[in-house]
Structures are given as structure tokens and as C-alpha cells.
Amino acid sequence: MNNSNPSNQALTHEAIRNFVPAEQCLDGKTILVTGAGDGIGRVAALTYARYGATVLLLGRTVSKLEAVYDEIESMGGKQPAVLPMDLEKASYAEMQQLEGLIVKEVGQLDGILHNAGLLGALTPLEMYDVDIFAKVMHVNTTATFMLTQALLPLLKDAAHGSIVFTTSTVGTHPRAFWGAYALSKQAVEGMSDIFTQETRNTTNLRFNCINPGGTRSNMRAHAFPGEDPMTLKTPEEIMAGYVCLMTDASIDVRGQVVALQPKH
């Protein structure tokens, strides 16, 4: 169990999964969460706020983001910000404008959790609808790249900027019928690796991927309609790793794909 990393050794994946956050361990940090209105992203946003971060809530359904905003306010967290953005439609220019907005409103950006994602169709590639394919690739991969690149100047200004991408077991090991979803997550893992190689010697930035593993959410229910959701971990139960990768305990963790529920 870790709540700090005084030895400055890169944490093991086991240590990241079992991280015990200290109170206010994210105090002074500003973290943007995409898909912050529902599922894992909603809980990550609440959890980051609980540990002292200022959270920027990005998503496409404003009413859901406002509900998360209210929850953070009512628990006494730092005032968050709602950033309405549909990643399927947003232009690169709109993403660049976010930079100016963040500077004006909060002055800094220390981390991004790229959590928003689309499942798309579960069908053989031979029959995969090309429009759905393009949409899933865009939201899960291309928009993730665009937003990262647009906000990179701000992240570089942070003492230890942390970019966390979200992958899946089928991104690490592509599986039949998972189509664009698996391919988009495989590309995200590659993007994290390339960003790591390109920035490792010149910046303090770190890029890592989290694979949450089977977690109770709407997406999981769509993917596995016959599954009893009560057999799955809740987003709350997997938050240790999400917090760890945003704290300074993980500043030496770079280019990793951390599975939060590894199969043994």
C-alpha cells in the first residue's frame, strides 16, 4: 500500500491498483475529465474533486455534467467547470479555444483523463457499418489525439503533467466481433506509447493507459446484456488507480498500460 513514493522508483502496476490516496493528494491540481457525466468518468471526476483537485467536466450531455457539478459543490469540493463538447463534432479550433478558456478560468492544467468512449457495433468486420466504424474511431481515437495535441502547451507548463488514456482488454488483445472499438483502443495504446517516446527526454509529461476491466456501467450493460451487473465492480471500487496516475506518486510511471482488474 502506498500513499507516497519517496524513493522515486516507478510504481508497479500492483502498487497503482492498490494505491491509498492521502487526503487532499490532488490539492492544487486541475484535471480535465472527458465523458464526465456518466459511468466511470462521472465517478472519476467526483473522486478527483474529493481529493482536492479542481475538475473540468467535459462531455456532450450538459444536464449530466451539471448534475456532477452540483454533487461536487454539495460535497464541498473546489468549484468545477462544465465544458460542453461533443467529441464526435468538435473541431480542432474549438479544442484550441478550450486552452484559452482554461487559462482564463483556472490558469493551469495538470492532467487529462481521456475517458469518453463509444462501443459501436459488436459484429464481424465483414459486416461492420462503415459510418459507425468512422464514428467510433473518431470519438475514441482521433478526437482523443486532437484534444491532447490542442492542450499539450498547457500540460507542458505543469510541473508534472499526466495524460491518462482509457483502453480495454480488447485494445490490448483484439478479439473477434469487437470491431472498431477494439481497433480504436489498440490505436490509443499506440498513441500513448508514441507520445511517451517523443516527450520522455524533453518534458516532464507522462502518458499512460488505464484498462478499467469489466465495470458496472451503461456501456458494459450494452456489451454484455446477459450479464448480472451485480457481479461487476462499481466504478467507485476501481478508483485507486485513477487517482494514483494523477498524483505526484506516479511521476516516474510512463508509457504503461495498467490493467485495474487483471485476470490471473
**Position among 37, 80, 161, 179 found at the interface with ligand NAP (CB under 6 A):** 37
From residue 236, alpha-carbon distances to 47, 58, 82, 210, 255 in Å are 8, 19, 22, 15, 25
Q: What is the spatial order of strands in the sheet that 54-59 belongs to?
A: 81-84, 54-59, 30-34, 111-114, 162-166, 206-211, 257-259
The verdict on whether 181 is a catalytic residue reads yes
Helix (H, G, I), strand (E, B) or coil at 221: helix
Range 124-163, binding ligand NAP (CB under 6 A):
139
Would you count residue 237 as binding ligand NAP (CB under 6 A)?
Answer: no
Range 52-81, binding ligand NAP (CB under 6 A):
59-61, 64
**Position among 99, 214, 234, 248 found at the interface with ligand NAP (CB under 6 A):** 214
Nearest to 114 by CA among 174, 167, 171, 177: 167
- The answer to whether 107 touches 83, Cβ cutoff 8 Å, is no
Residue number, 5 or 170, with CB nearest to ligand NAP: 170
From residue 34, alpha-carbon distances to 3, 65, 112, 156, 178 in Å are 26, 10, 8, 19, 22
**Position among 217, 247, 250, 256 found at the interface with ligand NAP (CB under 6 A):** 217
DSSP 3: S
Range 241-260, binding ligand NAP (CB under 6 A):
none
**Position among 35, 111, 161, 241 found at the interface with ligand NAP (CB under 6 A):** 35
Would you count residue 116 as binding ligand NAP (CB under 6 A)?
Answer: yes
Would you count residue 111 as binding ligand NAP (CB under 6 A)?
Answer: no
Binding site for ligand NAP (CB under 6 A): 35, 37-41, 59-61, 64, 86-88, 115-118, 139, 166, 168, 212, 214-215, 217-220
